[in-house]
Structure 1
Amino acid sequence: MVAFRYLVIVITALALAGCGGSRSSGNNYINANTNARNTSHIITNIQAKNLLRSALHGNNISLHKLKVYAHDRNKYAEMWLGQYYFLRRDYDETYYWYRKSARQGDSYAYLGLFDLYSHGQGVTQNMGKAEQWLKRGMLASEHSTG
């Protein structure tokens, strides 16, 4: 289990490091909110990762956009917002956003829930539930890759 946890962390770090994108500047939260709400149905996984990456570098506009997309039920934004809270060690929020994304079938969110249950972070440690989430994540990954 410890090896898998490190694998998840390494994969996340590599995914974030490989994402291009520029850091936004400015303080126009109204436009950020409006723009995010008008396009939430078309944000991609890569765009959500880029928002997370910028947010982790202190870009509050990117964090705000990520939250707006997540509140608009975009599964990628929900999962990456969960990852944001995981990295901030706010496991209750992590669980909340991973769970929302998992309900929409995001395989990374399933694996995130596996990690939380296997280590008792934000939830009571439960290896049975951890195994269920791991299986769901593996099945979802197999299905998405053909």
Structure 2
Amino acid sequence: MATLNINGQVHKLEVPDDMPLLWVLRDVVGLTGTKFGCGIAQCGACTVHLDGTAVRSCVLPVSAVAGKKVTTIEAVGATPAGRKIQAAWRELDVVQCGYCQSGQVMSAASLLAQNPKPSDADIDTAMSGNICRCGTYPRIRAAIKHAAQEEV
């Protein structure tokens, strides 16, 4: 039995301890905004927040999240950084195909929550694990800079 705090709700789930958090979120809890990309924590599509820090859920066993708060794309807009990032994403029309964007938003929101005024180097470091096959990297960087300038 795993007890998880996901998006502020406690879930008691009968899942194996080694089941990746991604599959618990998608297949057991029904939160499908977090995407499967590579399955080896290299693309960033599966990014969620664990106690506010961006992590890859595809390789994170559910046993490692007990007692921690999991935030997914479905609830990141409830955080100040998440609201700013989502607004900037819409305002600057960042999305192209959209598949990677939940992971991009989650990484960007974690960055702004930890560093409200990131430099280009900070952005590059925080976003380096997120792959966008459409190449929206310039728009992603512009949106993060834009969000960093906005008041909460």
The structure with the largest strand share of the pair is 2
The structure whose RCO (Cα within 8 Å, separation 6+) is larger is 2
TM beyond 0.5: no
Q: TM-score, normalised by structure 1?
A: 0.30
User: Higher helix proportion, which one?
Assistant: 1
